[in-house]
Structure 1
């Protein structure tokens, strides 16, 4: 640990090509979001309906964006001084407050949720101001970010003191300002692109957190049922789905979009890669709840429409997001894999449409087969002989 007064330093630039990994502080910070994602999943379990799903997404976005804000700051500017540790501790407190208020986040806990988010943004703004003071080269970027995030935070702060539905209108305005703020600083971002090895690892870790919820869902679903043959088979299918999504995501994870932006000056590749992770993790979290609902359903009775659509729609959302991620160039053969992900999404939606009357184990089994096919396609494309002749490069 360094001196309290040591300023943050620019973590990209001359060292941008060096391998860099998440720090222990970043991993510790992630623990709070394990709880937050769990609370979000709990909300969805209580209301598996269109309204319940929309509420789940509405709360998921600020939670995800809170994590993004701290992660992107640490990617560019970081230090291990006491000041940085204390600021991260404050961010952990605000993230914990978010998690505490999620359960009734659209009801009586909404003011607490709004205040927690606003104070979390305030800490991030302090960090950007601090970085701008000590790093003149980054000042145009940090000023733009601090300004945009401050405007958004004001909307969230005000929303805590006015009733619904106007409270949620202000939430929407605030989160839109937050999401578009980086696009107002694209010319500055090109000079300070994210680290090509650190950022994919951080996004992979958050994806792992959400996948962990899917595993917990399988365990919870099995523990709430009697150990019957169909229940065990359905649980195996649930694990197969989680493992397949893990496989196709992490086998194709890398910093190619950042490297492309650095070489060609195309900031949109990084932005597309970053923002597409939102529907991906929403889909994974929703699929985890869907798997649990399938497992606790009566296996001898046809799966209900809401449960079938939750599972299939969430997996389809995952594959649509993966199709976009592959399309922006994560690896060679990305165009071919992007097409297969798109086809996979269509197949899973077809299961939802034509699967009415099917047993829970049948529905989850068909989805598992569709997921395994995606893994098989990646394995096929990875064959040495295929790499030499594939026209889709």
Structure 2
């Protein structure tokens, strides 16, 4: 049982690191609260992305989405891995985490400005609040591990995050022509910090806990997309669009099938065994952890895409039908491919299983040019999941027959 779930928080506990093999390690109530705070930021992000696509500001919308989603995902991921290794659940730890949640809310408040004029001042200030609290956590871990090799790892994390945070603050004062290149440089710096720190000595993170945390965040992002689509469709119905309810019904049914299939695909294998296996190779582990940014981004973008498609079906926007369909098809195909290669591929032993989801992604993109594209995408996704379930059952049956 986790410490948060098993007893009250004390005033202070030594931050020596958790047992990476402890039984029953699950997400704590504080971690769930931390995740839910990101719902606000993702909701803001989805709303602004939908507006940008509807108004055909594709370049501005893409830049705003990429910049802001990277900050959201990276802040979440850094806390998640730290908490998996050093969750003491005492008063200082809880207070530092609550400060990070406050930073998330500040970041979320700045999302509209980031999209409307690429003004990232408020998001960067919120990001700096989150990172400062995390630096304090790493310094505390280093202090507690002063006679252990983990001290060097914690200090490397603290130093690397400090350099990156200073770089983001400096980015606010850069000339416009330098900002894109400075952004790309800082992304490289951010991504390099865990590899630099963990290369010396691995932190005591927990494989089952990490896989559960990633799964929970996937559910949260999918849930936010469902909420965004529901609210958007309701607004479309309440608007002054033409009564093309048949087209809207196709979007609604197709959207539900897409969401259900996305959930089914991700949770069709036991991810903790995969994470435990990848932990033996740092680069493989980083590829799995970092690659999920595309999984999360794809899931987050499907909801706004469904809103765009619903409004187009009711003729409440002037967007071309193919562009509206692409707003759903592109993030869906991205999600399908990334889950396939990050999560499923190591478990697939037959050509049928190895090719069903890549073929699904291709067909989803092709459906953009079909009539009732969202409905067809949903049917394709559902069929792919069905084939995968059948193929997995056949493989297990053959293995059982051989074993008998």
Provide TM-score, normalisation by structure 2.
Answer: 0.86
> Distance in 1 between the 2:380 and 2:399 partners?
26
Q: Distance in 1 between matches of 2:75 and 2:354?
A: 29
Alpha-carbon shift at residue 133 of structure 1 (Å): 1.1
Match of 1:103 in 2: 112
1:289 to partner: Cα distance: 1.1
Q: Deviations over 1:84-132 (max 9, x none)?
A: 0110111011111100011112537422222221232121111111111
- Matched residue, 1:241: 258
1:276–1:324: 8 Å Cα contact kept in structure 2? Answer: no
1:139-196 CA-to-partner distances (Å, cap 9, x unmatched) read 122122112111111111122334534344433322221112112234335x435311
Aligned equivalent of 2:48: 43
Contact 2:160 2:193 (8 Å CA) reproduced = yes
Aligned-partner Cα distance in 2 for 1:374–1:144: 44
Q: Choose the corresponding residue for 2:365, options 307, 327, 349.
A: 349
Pairing of 1:299-310 with structure 2 (within 5 A) = 303-310=320-327
Give the SS at the match of 2:223. Answer: helix
Contact 2:336/2:358 (CA < 8 Å) preserved in 1? yes
CA distance in 1, matches of 2:357, 2:284: 19
What does the per-residue CA deviation read over 1:288-333, in whole Å, with 9 as the maximum and x for residues that have no partner?
111111112135899533222221111110111012113563x454
Contact 1:76-1:194 at 8 Å conserved across structures: yes
1:76 paired residue number: 85
Counterpart Cα distance in 2 of 1:161 and 1:54: 19
Displacement after TM superposition at 1:27 (Å): 0.7
What per-residue deviation string (whole Å, max 9, x for no partner) do you get for residues 32-86 of structure 1?
1000000111110111143112321221011110111111100111111110011
Counterpart pick for 1:132 among 121, 127, 142 = 142
Moved more, 292-301 or 238-247: 292-301
Q: For 1:1-393, what aligned pairs fall within 5 Å after superposition?
A: 1-13=8-20, 16-48=21-53, 49-51=57-59, 52-105=61-114, 107=117, 109-135=119-145, 136-189=148-201, 191-192=202-203, 194-226=205-237, 228-262=245-279, 265-298=280-313, 303-326=320-343, 329=346, 331=347, 333=349, 337-352=353-368, 355=369, 358-359=370-371, 362-383=372-393, 386-388=396-398
2-structure distance, mates of 1:50, 1:225: 21
Structure 1: distance between partners of 2:187 and 2:261: 32
What is the alpha-carbon root mean square deviation over aligned residues? 2.4
Unaligned stretches of 5+ residues in structure 2: 1-7, 238-242
TM-score, structure 1 length as denominator? Answer: 0.88
> Given the superposition, is the C-alpha separation of residues 229 and 149 from structure 1 closer, same or farther in structure 2, using an over 3 Å criterion?
same
What secondary structure does 1:80 align onto? coil
SS of residue matched to 1:79: coil
